[in-house]
């Protein structure tokens, strides 16, 4: 039972508070002290949800096929289909426009060319094309295109739901353009050269967004939405789906969305949080299987309806039926991977062979960590000594962003530099972790070294000189407000920008920091609009030349490449050390670069309950090194709540 005692909950700022955390399972204890929670707590969904118009579903038929070295190519009339075998338990299904190249996102570590094609044969009948390996058979229905996967005994493990027609693409929904409509998009005034210095909240905190009435057309108004319908057994269970704020381990009966968002004080009523992993494990009598919908756009999974033990239907907010489920993306290509078990571990082996595994972390990363917003320099030294005096193990101390000069990334105040040196001298076995953000202050001079002397602010000047910043829809540098006031964001989609960002970490490592904690990589922006929730406009531009893409497509990958750049800093600057990198936001495959924590949870009993299935399902999504804030990030836990949370 959960105690509703108001003393156990709330969002009151906290003064001095000591919180333990174990990086093995409970990665980050913190407390909010300066920013009012009401300024950054989200209850509404802003980014529109991709919706399937069931009156316009495709009816594709197989008009011909060619046998390839690793599968088959299908003539579907208006489209082309590909079934490619990666192993005898892993296959990729794609439906494309004619001549379109098959897609592999950044989340894929080992693409098709990295696998040895298994032995297979192709058998045809008037109604089917069967691709047979030693373990699975992929059977393609020809009259109405659909696929089903069978095990070596001929038992159906997974199949398309042909009552809804073929998998394929559905037209984008019409949008009425109103701000209250979740499918509308309109522009928002951010920062111009004329008002760059006019912060509405000072040098830190949350700027009030300014709206205008200029309607912006959908950046991809005619881009069709890829979708897939699948049959479900009555007792089939669904696990994974990455980071989802849910109270149950089995995700049947849920609508599960992927759109990375800075959800301070999230609850299980939120549609999405910080990370997007469009992968799940299905478990049924025929065994376990996995599906990875490799689409970094905003995606939604509607799992089957479920009836409880009394026969009363509990549908939650899924739009699926009792005998089927479906998933859909807000654009992009229809490409998904099917992995057969029969055990869950077998499925995860295939998935992580595709997307990568975690690197062995340093031993100290598996111990107790201490973090809080916002320790004074004296407290940063006093708290670890208190741990030692009380005989409580402490392996790492985290420095939140107050160590920076007015939140300018890659700068260190002298007082915090002295605290760092004191810890090194007095507790040399203790490790230190620097919190970092992706936003770079629009500022030409900063006290980088903490000596009171202003000097050229390299990150901003170099990034500007090299044109490394994300662009707005007009092609100009995108500027908005976050912690340091007016800010620009690196375009991490570009390899040269990631390498440059990695080099900037020498300021942190030379000062003595051992690890890095990447925050705010959704990317978070302290201004909002009717078409996006505290993040960049969806028509911002990333990349250059032929690699240009809209933020709509890249959004869920931003934190992934942010982690990728920081991970490169360890290879470059600390090649003899195992990296410890902790990210708040990732996409599938991000486990090969960083650990992850569940963001800004709250000091209430339901949040303790919620963290357990969240982390277990993240582990079932390939994120083996994950954790959460012990005791909650926001609020003040009761002694009983904190004790139970620490026990977990």
Helix intervals (H) in 466-515:
495-504, 506-511
Q: Does the pLDDT value for residue 217 go beyond 80?
A: no
Q: In the prediction, which pLDDT does 532 show?
A: 56
With beta carbons less than 8 A apart as the criterion, state whether 596 and 586 touch.
yes
Which residues lie closer than 8 Å to 382 by C-beta, 6 or more apart?
A: none
Q: In the prediction, which pLDDT does 442 show?
A: 97
Q: Coil, helix or strand for 640?
A: helix
Write out 281-324 in H/E/C secondary structure. EEEECCEEEEEEECCCCCEEEECCCEECCCCCEECCCCCCCCCE
Q: In this predicted model, what pLDDT tens digit does every residue of 355-380 receive, in sequence order?
A: 999 999 999 999 999 998 889 999 99
Task: Pick the range with the lowest mean pLDDT from 21-25, 134-138, 292-296, 555-559.
Answer: 21-25
Q: In the prediction, which pLDDT does 19 show?
A: 32
pLDDT class of 258 with cuts at 50, 70, 90: very high
Burial of 487 (0-12, 13-18, 19+ CB in 10 A): buried
Comparing CA positions, the residue from 563, 569, 567 lying closest to residue 597 is 563
Catalytic residue from among 271, 522, 552, 568? 522
Q: Is residue 38 part of a domain?
A: yes
Q: How far is CA 221 from CA 53, 175, 236, 259, 474, in A?
A: 15, 10, 36, 19, 18
Catalytic residue from among 49, 539, 553, 600? 600
Q: Is residue 622 part of a domain?
A: yes
Q: Is residue 215 part of a domain?
A: no
Q: Is residue 22 part of a domain?
A: yes
Say what percent of the chain tops pLDDT 90. Answer: 72
Q: Does the pLDDT value for residue 33 go beyond 70?
A: no
Q: Is residue 537 part of a domain?
A: yes
Q: In this predicted model, what pLDDT tens digit does every residue of 156-185 receive, in sequence order?
A: 999 999 999 899 999 877 654 433 333 333
Q: In this predicted model, what pLDDT tens digit does every residue of 276-320 receive, in sequence order?
A: 999 999 999 999 999 999 999 999 999 999 865 445 555 567 889
Residue 37's domain comprises 6-47+359-647
Q: Does the pLDDT value for residue 272 go beyond 90?
A: no
**Residue 523 belongs to a domain with what CATH number?**
3.20.20.80
pLDDT class of 453 with cuts at 50, 70, 90: confident
Q: Does the pLDDT value for residue 516 go beyond 70?
A: yes
Comparing CA positions, the residue from 424, 334, 342 lying closest to residue 100 is 334
Say what percent of the chain tops pLDDT 70. Answer: 82
With beta carbons less than 8 A apart as the criterion, state whether 584 and 274 touch.
yes
Q: In the prediction, which pLDDT does 634 show?
A: 87
Q: Coil, helix or strand for 612?
A: helix
Average pLDDT over residues 321-326: 94
Q: In the prediction, which pLDDT does 512 show?
A: 97
pLDDT class of 454 with cuts at 50, 70, 90: confident
pLDDT class of 82 with cuts at 50, 70, 90: very high
Q: In the prediction, which pLDDT does 315 show?
A: 52
Per the structure, the count of domains in the chain is 1
Q: In the prediction, which pLDDT does 374 show?
A: 85
What string of DSSP letters covers 5-31? -GGG-------S---EEETTTB-----
Q: Rounded distance, CA 555 to CA 548, Å?
A: 13
pLDDT class of 472 with cuts at 50, 70, 90: very high
Answer yes or no: 55 catalytic.
no
Answer yes or no: 234 catalytic.
no
With beta carbons less than 8 A apart as the criterion, state whether 314 and 308 touch.
yes
Q: Rounded distance, CA 347 to CA 637, Å?
A: 38
Q: Coil, helix or strand for 200?
A: coil
Task: Pick the range with the lowest mean pLDDT from 107-116, 145-154, 269-278.
Answer: 269-278
Q: Coil, helix or strand for 395?
A: coil
Strands 121-124 and 90-96: unpaired
Task: Pick the range with the lowest mean pLDDT from 131-145, 258-272, 332-346, 490-504.
Answer: 258-272
Task: Pick the range with the lowest mean pLDDT from 30-39, 292-301, 383-392, 414-423.
Answer: 30-39
Q: Rounded distance, CA 159 to CA 214, Å?
A: 46
Answer yes or no: 519 catalytic.
yes
Catalytic residue from among 514, 519, 533, 553? 519
Task: Pick the range with the lowest mean pLDDT from 129-133, 270-274, 486-490, 596-600.
Answer: 270-274
Q: Rounded distance, CA 541 to CA 311, Å?
A: 50
What string of DSSP letters covers 427-474? -TT-EEEEEE-S-EES-SEE-TTSSS--EE-HHHHHHHHTT-B-B-TT
Average per-residue pLDDT for the chain:
85
Q: Does the pLDDT value for residue 87 go beyond 90?
A: yes
pLDDT class of 37 with cuts at 50, 70, 90: very low
Q: Rounded distance, CA 370 to CA 427, Å?
A: 14
Q: Is residue 218 part of a domain?
A: no
Q: Is residue 640 part of a domain?
A: yes
Which residues lie closer than 8 Å to 648 by C-beta, 6 or more apart?
A: 26, 608, 611, 612
Q: In the prediction, which pLDDT does 172 show?
A: 79
pLDDT class of 56 with cuts at 50, 70, 90: confident
Q: Does the pLDDT value for residue 200 go beyond 90?
A: no
Average pLDDT over residues 223-237: 95
Q: Is residue 526 part of a domain?
A: yes
Does residue 440 have a cis peptide bond before it, meaning omega lies within 30 degrees of 0? no
Which residues lie closer than 8 Å to 70 by C-beta, 6 or more apart?
A: 84, 85, 86, 112, 117
CA terminus-to-terminus distance, the chain: 16
Q: In the prediction, which pLDDT does 43 show?
A: 37
How many angstroms from the chain centroid is the CA of residue 173? 25
Average pLDDT over residues 55-69: 95
Q: In the prediction, which pLDDT does 581 show?
A: 98
Q: Does the pLDDT value for residue 531 go beyond 60?
A: no
Average pLDDT over residues 316-335: 92
With beta carbons less than 8 A apart as the criterion, state whether 363 and 264 touch.
no
Q: Does the pLDDT value for residue 20 go beyond 50?
A: no
Q: In the prediction, which pLDDT does 186 show?
A: 33
Strands 396-399 and 368-370: parallel
Q: Rounded distance, CA 336 to CA 94, Å?
A: 7
Average pLDDT over residues 593-602: 94
Q: Does the pLDDT value for residue 14 go beyond 60?
A: no
């Amino acid at each position: 039972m959960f105690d509703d005692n108001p003393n156990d909950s709330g969002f009151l700022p906290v003064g001095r508070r000591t919180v333990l955390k174990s990086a093995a399972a409970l990665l980050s204890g913190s407390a909010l002290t300066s920013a009012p929670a009401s300024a950054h707590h989200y209850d509404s969904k802003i980014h529109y949800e991709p919706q399937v118009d069931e009156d316009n579903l495709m009816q594709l038929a197989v008009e011909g096929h060619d046998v390839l070295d690793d599968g088959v190519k299908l003539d579907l009339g208006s489209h082309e289909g590909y079934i490619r075998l990666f192993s005898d338990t892993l296959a990729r299904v794609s439906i494309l426009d004619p001549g379109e190249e098959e897609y592999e996102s950044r989340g894929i570590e080992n693409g098709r060319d990295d696998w040895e094609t298994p032995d297979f044969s192709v058998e045809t009948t008037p109604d089917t094309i069967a691709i047979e390996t030693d373990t699975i058979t992929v059977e393609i229905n020809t009259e109405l295109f659909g696929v089903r996967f069978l095990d070596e005994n001929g038992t159906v493990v997974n199949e398309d739901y042909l009552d809804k027609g073929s998998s394929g693409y559905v037209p984008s929904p019409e949008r009425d353009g109103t701000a209250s409509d979740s499918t509308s998009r309109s522009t928002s005034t951010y920062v111009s050269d004329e008002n760059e210095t006019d912060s509405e909240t000072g040098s830190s905190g949350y700027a009030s967004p300014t709206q205008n009435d200029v309607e912006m057309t959908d950046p991809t108004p005619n881009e069709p939405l890829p979708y897939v319908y699948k049959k479900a057994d009555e007792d089939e269970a669904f696990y994974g789906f990455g980071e989802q704020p849910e109270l149950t381990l089995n995700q049947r009966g849920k609508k599960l969305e992927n759109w990375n968002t800075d959800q301070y004080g999230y609850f299980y009523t939120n549609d999405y949080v910080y990370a997007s992993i469009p992968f799940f494990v299905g478990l049924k009598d025929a065994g376990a299987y996995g599906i990875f919908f490799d689409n970094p756009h905003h995606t939604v999974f509607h799992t089957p309806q479920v009836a409880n033990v009394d026969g009363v239907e509990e549908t939650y907010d899924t739009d699926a039926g009792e005998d089927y489920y479906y998933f859909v993306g807000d654009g992009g290509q229809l490409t998904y991977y099917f992995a057969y078990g029969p055990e869950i571990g077998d499925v995860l082996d295939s998935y992580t062979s595709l997307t990568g595994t975690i690197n062995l972390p340093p031993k100290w990363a598996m111990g107790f960590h201490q973090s809080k917003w916002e320790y004074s320099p004296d407290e940063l030294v006093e708290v670890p000594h208190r741990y030692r005096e009380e005989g409580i193990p402490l392996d790492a101390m985290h420095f939140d962003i107050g160590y920076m000069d007015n939140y300018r990334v890659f700068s260190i105040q002298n007082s915090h530099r002295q605290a760092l040196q004191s810890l090194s001298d007095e507790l040399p076995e203790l490790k230190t972790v620097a919190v970092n953000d992706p936003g770079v202050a629009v500022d030409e001079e900063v006290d980088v070294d903490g000596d009171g002397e202003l000097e050229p602010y390299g990150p901003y000047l170099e990034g500007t000189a090299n044109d490394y910043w994300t662009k707005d829809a007009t092609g100009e540098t995108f500027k908005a407000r976050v912690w340091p006031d007016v800010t620009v964001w690196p375009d991490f989609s570009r390899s040269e920008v990631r390498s440059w960002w990695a080099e900037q970490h020498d300021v942190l490592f030379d000062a003595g920091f051992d690890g890095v904690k990447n925050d705010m990589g959704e990317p978070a922006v302290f201004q909002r609009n009717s078409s996006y929730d505290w993040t960049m406009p969806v028509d911002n531009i990333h990349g250059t030349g032929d690699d240009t893409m809209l933020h709509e497509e890249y959004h869920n990958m931003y934190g992934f490449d942010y982690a990728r750049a920081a991970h490169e800093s360890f290879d470059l600057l600390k090649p003899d050390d195992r990296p410890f990198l902790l990210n708040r936001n990732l996409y599938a495959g991000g486990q090969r670069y960083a650990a992850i924590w569940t963001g800004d949870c709250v000091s209430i009993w339901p949040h303790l309950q919620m963290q357990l299935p969240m982390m277990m399902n993240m582990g079932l999504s390939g994120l083996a090194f994950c954790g959460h804030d012990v005791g909650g990030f926001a609020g003040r836990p009761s002694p009983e709540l904190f004790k139970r949370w620490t026990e977990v």
